[in-house]
């Protein structure tokens, strides 16, 4: 099963590395989001207090939605998803492989976004790199877990571009809130690590719930 997931991940990465289309477009879109917020909210060089955390996560959420849509659109166009599902591979393994691909893509985007947001909004995001990475990773996994499931479900649906945000955003609100609060806690001058630990624990719990639900429902949802 792990082998299948790894194969799916490798396939996705190979295809992506060839053109880097999704990586570039997602990154560009996320950076534009951050810049939009900078233009709208930074007045006379003063960023709004605690704005950085929210803006970072919004950029991740919007960029992630775009990445999800594009990834599965690519699958749909070459009908590879149907081929994947017809292959004698465990369905949950396919889901895990796709999930890891999306997480890798988003993490790559975050590596660029974090310094950008830290610079534009004068936020000391890089002061606790370990905890920030933990928050970003658990939050991204939670977001991607639901996103991968819904995007795969929507591949054959009508109005799939509009329906993905409609389905995804309400469900991932707890993940985004936890991510924002944890990041905001890390940006305080005197960081309360206990609070950050609490939010990370909540994020991990959410990840477990979402991934479990997704693994459980992936099979019936992808079968006609």
- In the complex, minimum distance from the CB of residue 151 to other proteins, in angstroms, rounded to a whole number: 11
- In the complex, minimum distance from the CB of residue 78 to other proteins, in angstroms, rounded to a whole number: 20
Question: Does 6 interact with other proteins (rule: CB under 8 A)?
Answer: no
Q: Measuring CA to CA, how many Å separate 78 from each of 21, 95, 217?
A: 16, 18, 24
Question: Does 147 interact with other proteins (rule: CB under 8 A)?
Answer: no
Question: Does 9 interact with other proteins (rule: CB under 8 A)?
Answer: no
Cβ atoms of residues 63 and 109 within 8 Å? yes
Question: Does 217 interact with other proteins (rule: CB under 8 A)?
Answer: yes
Question: Does 47 interact with other proteins (rule: CB under 8 A)?
Answer: no
Among 13, 82, 89, 174, binds other proteins (CB under 8 A): 174
Q: Which is nearer to other proteins, 43 or 158 (CB)?
A: 158
Q: Which is nearer to other proteins, 170 or 189 (CB)?
A: 170
Tokens of 83: 């081929």
Cβ atoms of residues 169 and 61 within 8 Å? yes
- In the complex, minimum distance from the CB of residue 130 to other proteins, in angstroms, rounded to a whole number: 26
Burial 21-33 (b: 16+ CB within 10 A, else e): ebbeebbebbbeb
Residues 48-107 that bind other proteins (CB under 8 A): 58, 62, 65-66, 69
Q: Measuring CA to CA, how many Å separate 141 from each of 23, 24, 207?
A: 17, 20, 7
Question: Does 153 interact with other proteins (rule: CB under 8 A)?
Answer: yes
- In the complex, minimum distance from the CB of residue 221 to other proteins, in angstroms, rounded to a whole number: 5
Q: How many other C-beta atoms are found inside a 10 Å radius of the C-beta of residue 146?
A: 21
Cβ atoms of residues 20 and 67 within 8 Å? no
- In the complex, minimum distance from the CB of residue 154 to other proteins, in angstroms, rounded to a whole number: 7
Q: Find residue 46's DSSP bridge partners.
A: 43
113 contacts: CB under 8 Å, gap ≥ 6: 30, 31, 34, 56, 59, 60, 63
Q: Which is nearer to other proteins, 32 or 78 (CB)?
A: 32
Question: Does 209 interact with other proteins (rule: CB under 8 A)?
Answer: yes
Among 126, 162, 201, 208, binds other proteins (CB under 8 A): 162
Compute the Cα dihedral for 12, 165, 59, 183 and give only its sign.
negative
Residues that bind other proteins (CB under 8 A): 29, 33, 36-37, 40-41, 58, 62, 65-66, 69, 146, 149-150, 153-154, 156-159, 161-167, 169-171, 173-174, 177, 209-210, 213, 217, 220-221, 224
């Amino acid at each position: 099963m792990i082998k299948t997931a790894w194969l799916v991940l490798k396939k996705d990465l190979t295809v992506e590395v060839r053109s880097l289309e999704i990586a570039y477009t997602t990154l560009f879109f996320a950076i534009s989001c951050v810049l939009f917020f900078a233009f709208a909210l930074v007045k006379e060089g003063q960023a709004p207090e605690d704005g950085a955390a929210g803006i970072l996560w919004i950029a991740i959420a919007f960029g992630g939605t775009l990445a999800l849509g594009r990834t599965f659109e690519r699958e749909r166009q070459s009908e590879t998803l149907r081929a994947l599902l017809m292959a004698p591979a465990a369905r949950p393994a396919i889901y895990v492989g796709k999930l890891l691909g999306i997480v890798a893509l988003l993490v790559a985007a975050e590596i660029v976004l974090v310094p950008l947001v830290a610079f534009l909004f004068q936020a000391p995001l890089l002061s606790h790199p370990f905890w920030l990475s933990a928050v970003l990773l658990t939050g991204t996994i939670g977001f991607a877990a639901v996103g991968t499931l819904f995007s795969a479900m929507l591949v054959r649906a009508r109005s799939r571009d509009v329906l993905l945000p409609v389905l995804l955003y309400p469900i991932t609100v707890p993940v985004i809130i936890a991510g924002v609060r944890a990041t905001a806690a890390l940006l305080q001058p005197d960081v309360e690590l206990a609070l950050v630990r609490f939010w990370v624990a909540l994020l991990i719990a959410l990840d477990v719930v979402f991934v479990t639900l997704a693994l459980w429902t992936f099979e019936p949802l992808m079968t006609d």
